[in-house]
Structure 1
Amino acid sequence: MTRLMGLMLVLLMAVQSGPTAAHGGVSVEDDVCIMRIGPYRAHFTGYQPEYRATQEFCEDIPVVAKAIIVLDFIDNVLRGMSVEFNLLRDTDGLGAAARFDQLGSMQQIRERSLFNVPAATYPRGTITLEPTLDQSGWYIGVLSATDPETGGTLHSVFPFRVGVRSYWRYGVALLVILALSVLLYRVSGRKRAGGASTTAA
């Protein structure tokens, strides 16, 4: 019984503390948010220090407020590339399926951008973004990395929602509780039945 209670606690903690769902160029791998820029990768970590200082998110942002997004390059080749970031409001209803070729030219993306970080190199491999997200709904982040030698540019597009309540987590937690409660009831019932049989004998 003690083991079952411990298992229940571990599962509930996992459901509540895991990163939120990801879309587009960002995915969850081994419980870590990874952004893909062509063949290259970067760690993606988001925070909302004013509201949930210790909770990380993987794209979808729970509260309409200022956010801090930190990108740490995994592949060192990105440190020598010129990296630009643009944040757009999804006015075309593209949602989670948004792609770069649906957003227009780079000039059009810059003109629509709510938050722009001009192209620069990051030899230390870390970019910190601090956009203020003042409306709920879908946004689209576009990270563009240009090779200074070839002039080729790679794009990572990651749509995300702001002002999202993760009610699915509570649903999963409830199902876990119900399933383990039934299992606990059956195990304890068998023990009682076994004890009664021994007494009768």
Structure 2
Amino acid sequence: MRKTKTFKNTLLALGLTVSAVLPFSSAWAHGGGAAQEFDTCRIEVGGHWVHFTAYQPNLSGMEEFCGNLPSPGQSNLVIDYEGKALRQMEVEFELTKEPEGTSLVKVPMDKHSNGVITTPYNFQAPGKYLAHITLVNEGQRIDAHLPIVVGTGRDSGGVNTYLIAAVVLTALGYVLYLSNAGFKGLIDKLLGRAKEF
């Protein structure tokens, strides 16, 4: 009877952990946040949305990066339009070195009927950069910006890895608490002392 209860508690804790972590894993893989509404690669430009992606094929194959590139090197910078309205508007892309604001590469104002702007750029040094996306809509210039940091190491991981590890360790501790009377007694004793403070 005791083993069955322990097994059920273990399955429950594992199920809760997996169900808590899985929904966020695809968002974390794409730069963090909760899927689309917090996708940092997604930029609003005057009520229209574009998606920025950077590739470093010589360093990481077809792995996608957003605002953090692991190291300097040859990169392909891609702006994808979301929807067809932008295809009829003039759009410009520019990359600047920050904080100086020095222009490094510029795709001139033009209509991009395929909905994609692609430009190669070889980042020579780690540092801060800024992607500028400008569109002209009904005679009005609208600007949006995306900060880019080059030389950050791997884009994925970092805080997200620690968060996942913390969740897994907490779940394992909870399972141990439920299944081991000695450990439960120790934790209850420590919590009792903590309440006295």
- Name the structure 2 match of 1:29: 36
Gaps of 5+ in 2: 1-9, 185-197
The answer to whether the aligner puts 1:126 opposite 2:116 as a matched pair is: yes
Give the alignment partner of residue 152 of structure 1, picking from 129, 140, 147: 140
- Name the structure 2 match of 1:181: 172
Q: Provide the rounded CA distance (Å) in 1 between the counterparts of 2:27 and 2:37.
A: 16
Flag the structure with higher helix content: 2
- Name the structure 2 match of 1:81: 89
Assess, with a 3 A threshold, how the Cα gap between structure 1 residues 152 and 17 changes in structure 2: closer, same or farther. Answer: closer
Give the alignment partner of residue 172 of structure 1, picking from 160, 163, 172: 163
Structure 2-normalised TM-score?
A: 0.69
* Greater displacement, 38-47 / 133-142: 38-47
Q: Provide the rounded CA distance (Å) in 1 between the counterparts of 2:72 and 2:18.
A: 31
Give the alignment partner of residue 18 of structure 1, picking from 29, 36, 42: 29
CA contact (8 A) 1:21 1:60 kept: no
Shift of 1:66: 2.0
The answer to whether the aligner puts 1:90 opposite 2:78 as a matched pair is: no
- Name the structure 2 match of 1:115: 105
The amino acid of 1:116's aligned partner reads K
Shift of 1:162: 0.8
Q: Provide the rounded CA distance (Å) in 1 between the counterparts of 2:129 and 2:35.
A: 19
Instruction: Please say which structure displays the higher CA radius of gyration.
Output: 2
The amino acid of 1:167's aligned partner reads G
Count of equivalent residues: 168
1:36 aligns to what SS in structure 2? strand
CA contact (8 A) 1:16 1:169 kept: no
Structure 1-normalised TM-score?
A: 0.68
Identity score, percent: 24
Moved over 4 A (4+): 2-10
Assess, with a 3 A threshold, how the Cα gap between structure 1 residues 21 and 131 changes in structure 2: closer, same or farther. Answer: farther
CA contact (8 A) 1:15 1:173 kept: no
The answer to whether the aligner puts 1:61 opposite 2:69 as a matched pair is: yes
Shift of 1:2: 5.0
Gaps of 5+ in 1: 93-102, 104-111, 194-201
2:174 aligns to what SS in structure 1? helix
Task: Name which structure has the greater RCO, CA cutoff 8 Å, separation 6+.
Answer: 1
Assess, with a 3 A threshold, how the Cα gap between structure 1 residues 73 and 169 changes in structure 2: closer, same or farther. Answer: same
1:116 aligns to what SS in structure 2? strand
Assess, with a 3 A threshold, how the Cα gap between structure 1 residues 6 and 134 changes in structure 2: closer, same or farther. Answer: farther
